Structure 1
Amino acid sequence: MRFHSLPESKRYPDTEDEWAIVLDRYNTVLDELFAGQDVHVATSNWSGTPMPPERPHEQTQRHPGAHHWVSVLTDPDPDDPIYTHVYVSRIPWQRGRIDTLLRAVADDATAGVLITDVGLQRIYNPYDGGADVILTTSTERDQLRARHTDWLSAHPSGL
């Protein structure tokens, strides 16, 4: 299911009030999914080599304690291959704890972020403009959707 970060599906916040709405929506759903649990936070960066380069300082600031987990060839173009390097940390979920990372996602300064329970049953994928949520059952999905109908897209496809 997909939630939008701002009213009327506005993609980017312009004011501190709008930033507060974005972070509240991200954190509200994350609280509902992961309160009282440990979560894995995964971030990505990309390069043309199978070995990850040193992470830029801003990435280590946004996702402290992350360690390299895996690198995957995501574009096998022989002239310009692209590898996705995934970094993971395990933290106890706490509202606001990853706001620096969430703010970077909402501002399109980073992408490829996933937050999941340690059993990989529920996945939260924030992006600039909203978040996609994968749940274990359609009942769980429908209950979450019902609690936040104002955050859903008005488009018939739900996107």
Structure 2
Amino acid sequence: MFSDSELDPRALSRLWERQWPECPPFAHWLRDHYPDRWVRFHSLPDSKRYPDNEAEYAVVLDRHHTLLSELDPGADLLVITAEWTDTAATTPQRWPRRSQVAPSARHWRTLIEEPDDPEFRAYTQLYAELRPWRPGIIDAVLRAVADDEISGVILGPSDLRWLYHPYDGGADVILPTRSERDALKERHRTWLSKHPLGF
């Protein structure tokens, strides 16, 4: 749907609103807005949250690579990364690590979360880019997520037919249909949480 030169903010916003009209692109809101198509996978055995050594990082990355390859983004993977600022301006940023692992991303849009206390209002700055898909193409992003150095990442194909939200400890996946969700879930049962609600 996009080529790198065509990945402009307005087109991406229109695409998001067409594909995911019930939820703005807050990564942590997706599972609550699409619970019937959501599944969570843990990135380490026994639901261990953080990797401690290179062998465990290899497991984390292998699980991400496996899931993303099965989801099949096609030629390009859309990578959305997030940053937070105290005002609507895109600088100064609180988490400079984002620009280190996604230096080519362009600013897409600004989201505002309205807390009960306006003093704690936060501005989420979203950045987007297309990367030619192959396993390993976003390992720097995934390692930064695994280490809780960045958050709010959303991955998807260029048509946004599914969404993949890696977090420190695993990944939330939102599929186009419940049956596709169930099939992916069945293939990777050992990566699921033992929590009754799937967390």
TM-score range normalised by the length of the shorter chain: over 0.9
8 Å Cα contact 2:74/2:157 also seen in 1:
no
Equivalence for 1:131: 171
1:83 aligns with 2:83: no
**Cα separation, 1, equivalents of 2:147 and 2:96:** 17
Equivalence for 2:18: none
Residue 71 of structure 1, aligned match among 74, 90, 110: 110
Equivalence for 1:153: 193
Unaligned runs of 5+ in 1: none
**Cα separation, 2, equivalents of 1:80 and 1:155:** 31
1:30 aligns with 2:68: yes
**Cα separation, 1, equivalents of 2:75 and 2:145:** 22
8 Å Cα contact 1:75/1:83 also seen in 2:
no
Q: Comparing both structures, which one devotes a greater share of its residues to helix?
A: 2
* SS of equivalent to 2:118: coil
Two-structure CA RMSD over aligned residues (Å)? 1.5
Q: Percent identity?
A: 50
Residue 86 of structure 2, aligned match among 27, 48, 54: 48
Partner AA of 1:66 in structure 2: A
What is the TM-score when the length of structure 1 is the normalising length?
0.93
8 Å Cα contact 1:35/1:94 also seen in 2:
no
Matches within 5 A, 1:101-140: 101-140=141-180
**Cα separation, 2, equivalents of 1:9 and 1:80:** 32
* SS of equivalent to 1:27: helix
Number of matched pairs: 159
Cα deviation per residue 1:25-47 (whole Å; 9 max; x = unaligned)? 01110111125332210011111
**Cα separation, 2, equivalents of 1:80 and 1:123:** 28
**Cα separation, 1, equivalents of 2:120 and 2:177:** 40
Q: 1:110 offset after TM fit, Å?
A: 0.6
Cα deviation per residue 1:79-133 (whole Å; 9 max; x = unaligned)? 3421100000012211001000100001111100000112111000000000000
**Cα separation, 2, equivalents of 1:3 and 1:51:** 35
The 4+ residue runs of structure 1 with deviation greater than 4 A are 54-57
* SS of equivalent to 2:51: coil
**Cα separation, 2, equivalents of 1:155 and 1:54:** 39
**Cα separation, 2, equivalents of 1:142 and 1:78:** 40
Q: Comparing both structures, which one devotes a greater share of its residues to strand?
A: 1
Partner AA of 1:87 in structure 2: Y
